Structure 1
């Protein structure tokens, strides 16, 4: 009997430890992916000591998002069968591994820690933001070399490509809480949210992340649609006003943002007037063109996850344009379609449809739940940002999607059956 008690106690301690390790994982999302992965691995190891693993996993796999994420990863892995460049294919396919572990992460999420997850995430944002401002103002260079792109980006830990969507999501969460919950908030809470969201938005606009800027404008549009669900004209008018005014103010007051906009204009000029795609925006546009050509030739199965670079070269070698070689079209929709075909694209769309359906169900059952706007924001964010980069296999952003999905939709997991 004493042995049974000791085993039971060990299992409880292991389960609690595993759950607690998820909290700091949220903190590191805007900082570095390595600590997040380390914490998740440690949490899973402790989870294996909690007992009843088979039954827990069986139940977790029934969650709609478990099915969607696992299917998404499976379509990437299965395309290894027909890829020629197996080494490149294995390199890309390993980026989809976190999606296979979503059912376990779902088990490790404890809804009692809701405020802890959000607090940890915003502490990570605050730290990143403070250091980013310090770099922008010339107070510190964070020990980076003069030619380090993260020095020019004014981002302390990760480059603007990964940083800007995460910051945009944080700004959206702040603004949605402020605008949608204005009447329920105390004065000090309103002031805090205004100040924090303002500093986050300014930070976003001087760290050069154009994808995050576009995402934020799209998310602001959503905030007002949620705020005035029955007054669509008012919501759209306010949204359009803000999404016009904010970039104009940023362009006229922030040299970094003005520079990025002007560079974008120059990129377009170089491409269409000089047949030169060796620029940030030009490279993306020409990669999208090549991707569409690849899809036309391989619409059903795609070319395999390791063969995009080879097929891209075939297309571009026939074009009268200067270009950079690449293995990534900088668009998740196109990357998935070109490498895994129509089945891969359907698996990607399946993630969005699942999140959308679960969010709709939550609005029906608990319309005033303060997490509902975050669910909408997560969906909109990951509908927008994959247009400019393959963000569902980029480290920090894929972990953002997985962790927040597990946290926000844990309620759809029936633990009582375990």
Structure 2
């Protein structure tokens, strides 16, 4: 009876993990419901000895738990009120999704379905975005382009990673028809990022991921593809009508034209966030000011100087935020967190069916979150943080330690 209960629970957990992957592209409520149920059922599913053995032997799972525990430890000396400390610690509970998903996703078929579920959701988003652009779907213009469900930042981040996945799926196809289908979809995703939704982080990520894809796939031979991308982007940006601005070209202009007493620009604000975050880091460089302290500490700075913004919950940089809250040891652990995932991607047994794809996909995912975290606090953010932790859990489950 107990074995049957555990087996049924684990099957439900697998389906919830797959639905969570689909929910990444959908409104936030879907992800909250799917992962909320996942955590509850995982906690009562039984078979704990086997689950904990898998987690204990998986370095990436252990690193996720260690980072979450450090955020909890640093609550005890934070300068923020206790309610804020607990709230901010719980924002990082998503780190536990990684070991939990690893512990239940052992069958390759479900891992593949989960990844395709994510792509299905993103293709739905891509389709609706183009319908909005063509005027065939209701759209309220707020100056962010034709995003769907999520804001422009999350939309373009998720779409950039989807483009990378589709490019690699095109490479591994044996059928020419399927190959060109994935190539065509990846091109549509690229154009969507560059010209229909003006989220700069995703635009940067698209270029970085394309360069990485070419290098990892063809090495030095990839130079011609990079030149082709540059030419295509230039031609479309000059001749394509009725598309939102390619915002990467505006960064230097925003910085150069920014003046303290005028309306703040996005780039101007970020520079101020970074500068003041470094001031806060210098005050507590080793241990940090504690979990959830950034908003409180930043307000003290804002009261002493004429800042563009007085309410700043995070510096829009995950690395600066972690250093300010957890100190240099926290920053080192965050870098080790990403490094462990990266090293694990090369230890996946690629002799098995589809495992090589998971290895490539995991490295693309790490690049997505790492580069994106230079411009946003992505692990802190609900949508982007859950995106990374859920997909990373799925891909890392392909790694099988010998001890298991």
Q: Does 1:372 align with 2:363?
A: no
Q: Aligned equivalents of 1:280 and 1:102: distance in 2?
A: 33
CA 1:31–1:341 in structure 2 vs 1: closer, same or farther (change >3 Å)?
same
Q: Aligned equivalents of 2:349 and 2:361: distance in 1?
A: 12
Q: 1:208 corresponds to which residue?
A: 198
Q: Does 1:42 align with 2:37?
A: yes
Shift of 1:245: 3.0
Question: Are 2:350 and 2:356, in contact at CA under 8 Å, matched by a contact in 1?
Answer: no
Question: Are 2:10 and 2:45, in contact at CA under 8 Å, matched by a contact in 1?
Answer: yes
Q: Secondary structure at the match of 2:245?
A: helix
Shift of 1:251: 2.6
Shift of 1:72: 1.5
Q: Secondary structure at the match of 2:101?
A: helix
Cα deviation code 1:117-170 (max 9, x no counterpart): 12211110111112222222232336x6x6xx4x74322211011111111000
Q: Secondary structure at the match of 2:357?
A: coil
Q: Which moved more, 1:364-373 or 1:283-292?
A: 364-373
Q: 1:92 is matched with which residue: 88, 92, 96?
A: 88
Q: Does 1:387 align with 2:352?
A: no
Q: 1:185 corresponds to which residue?
A: 174
Q: Aligned equivalents of 2:208 and 2:278: distance in 1?
A: 25
Q: Secondary structure at the match of 1:330?
A: coil
Shift of 1:108: 2.5
Q: 1:3 corresponds to which residue?
A: none
CA 1:312–1:400 in structure 2 vs 1: closer, same or farther (change >3 Å)?
same
Q: 1:104 corresponds to which residue?
A: 100
Shift of 1:375: 1.8
Q: Does 1:157 align with 2:154?
A: no
Q: Does 1:362 align with 2:348?
A: yes
Question: Are 2:295 and 2:311, in contact at CA under 8 Å, matched by a contact in 1?
Answer: yes
Q: Where does structure 2 lack aligned partners over 5 or more consecutive residues?
A: none
Q: 2:273 is matched with which residue: 287, 293, 304?
A: 287
Q: Aligned equivalents of 1:41 and 1:415: distance in 2?
A: 31
Q: Aligned equivalents of 2:200 and 2:13: distance in 1?
A: 37
Question: Are 2:144 and 2:152, in contact at CA under 8 Å, matched by a contact in 1?
Answer: no
Q: 1:17 is matched with which residue: 12, 16, 22?
A: 12
CA 1:191–1:351 in structure 2 vs 1: closer, same or farther (change >3 Å)?
same
Question: Are 1:19 and 1:108, in contact at CA under 8 Å, matched by a contact in 2?
Answer: yes
Q: 2:58 is matched with which residue: 58, 63, 66?
A: 63
CA 1:16–1:309 in structure 2 vs 1: closer, same or farther (change >3 Å)?
closer
Q: 2:326 corresponds to which residue?
A: 340
TM-score of the superposed pair, with normalisation by structure 2: 0.89
Q: 2:391 is matched with which residue: 404, 410, 414?
A: 404
Q: Aligned equivalents of 1:105 and 1:85: distance in 2?
A: 32
Shift of 1:276: 4.7
Shift of 1:30: 1.7
Cα deviation code 1:165-207 (max 9, x no counterpart): 11100001111232x43xx531211221122111111221211
CA 1:335–1:256 in structure 2 vs 1: closer, same or farther (change >3 Å)?
farther
Q: Secondary structure at the match of 2:316?
A: coil
Q: Aligned equivalents of 1:355 and 1:157: distance in 2?
A: 29
Q: Which moved more, 1:344-353 or 1:394-403?
A: 394-403
Q: 1:349 is matched with which residue: 332, 335, 344?
A: 335
Q: Where does structure 1 lack aligned partners over 5 or more consecutive residues?
A: 1-5
Shift of 1:381: 1.2
Matched length: 399
Q: 2:28 is matched with which residue: 24, 27, 33?
A: 33
Q: Which moved more, 1:93-102 or 1:381-390?
A: 93-102
Cα deviation code 1:383-404 (max 9, x no counterpart): 2100110001212221222122
Q: Aligned equivalents of 2:236 and 2:59: distance in 1?
A: 41
TM-score of the superposed pair, with normalisation by structure 1: 0.86
Q: Aligned equivalents of 1:18 and 1:317: distance in 2?
A: 49
Q: Secondary structure at the match of 1:327?
A: coil
Q: Does 1:305 align with 2:291?
A: yes
Q: 2:245 corresponds to which residue?
A: 258
Q: 1:225 corresponds to which residue?
A: 215
Q: 1:140 is matched with which residue: 137, 142, 163?
A: 137
CA 1:297–1:11 in structure 2 vs 1: closer, same or farther (change >3 Å)?
closer
Q: Which moved more, 1:207-216 or 1:186-195?
A: 186-195
Q: Does 1:267 align with 2:254?
A: yes
Question: Are 1:221 and 1:243, in contact at CA under 8 Å, matched by a contact in 2?
Answer: no
Q: Aligned equivalents of 1:26 and 1:294: distance in 2?
A: 37
Shift of 1:290: 1.0
Q: Aligned equivalents of 2:307 and 2:382: distance in 1?
A: 32
